[in-house]
Amino acid sequence: MPYDYSRTDRIGEQIKRELAMLIRNEIKDPRVSMVSILDVEVTKDLSQAKVFFDALNQDEHEACEKGLNSAAGFLRRELGKAIKLRSTPSLKFIYDDTEQRANDLSLMIDQALASDK
C-alpha cells in the first residue's frame, strides 16, 4: 500500500517540530522573539528547506527574518544532531503574512457589505 504522505512531507514536519523547540530554547538573539513556525517545504533532494514563520510583533518581522537567517547555520547544525539524515537541508526563513492579508481582505469585504446596505 503506497503512502499518501511523502517522505519530504514527513521530514518537513519533523524539521518544523525541532526548529520550534530550538528557536524557543536556544536562540538568544533579541531580534528573534515570539516566532511561530507555520510550514516547512523541503525540496525533493533534501538539500534546501523553506521555513515559513509568523512573528507576534508584526512591525518588526523584517528584523526577525534577518535574525533567523543569520542563525540558520547554527540551527542547521543543531537540527543535524536532532534528526538523523545523511545531509541536513540548508534553511531559508521566509516571513508569511497570509494571516494579516486574510484579515485585511475580510475587513474590506465587511466594509463592502456594510456600504451595500
Over the stretch 47-101, which tens digit does the pLDDT of each residue have? 999 999 988 877 788 888 999 999 999 999 999 898 888 889 999 999 988 887 8
In a domain, 83, yes or no: yes
**Integer distance in angstroms from the first to the last C-alpha of the chain?**
55
- Residue ranges making up the domain that contains 29: 7-116
pTM: 0.80
The CATH code of the domain that includes 61 is: 3.30.300.20
| β-strand pairing of 90-95 with 35-42 | unpaired
In a domain, 2, yes or no: no
Contact 36, 19 (CB under 8 A): no
3-class DSSP state of 39: strand
> How many domains does the chain fold into?
1
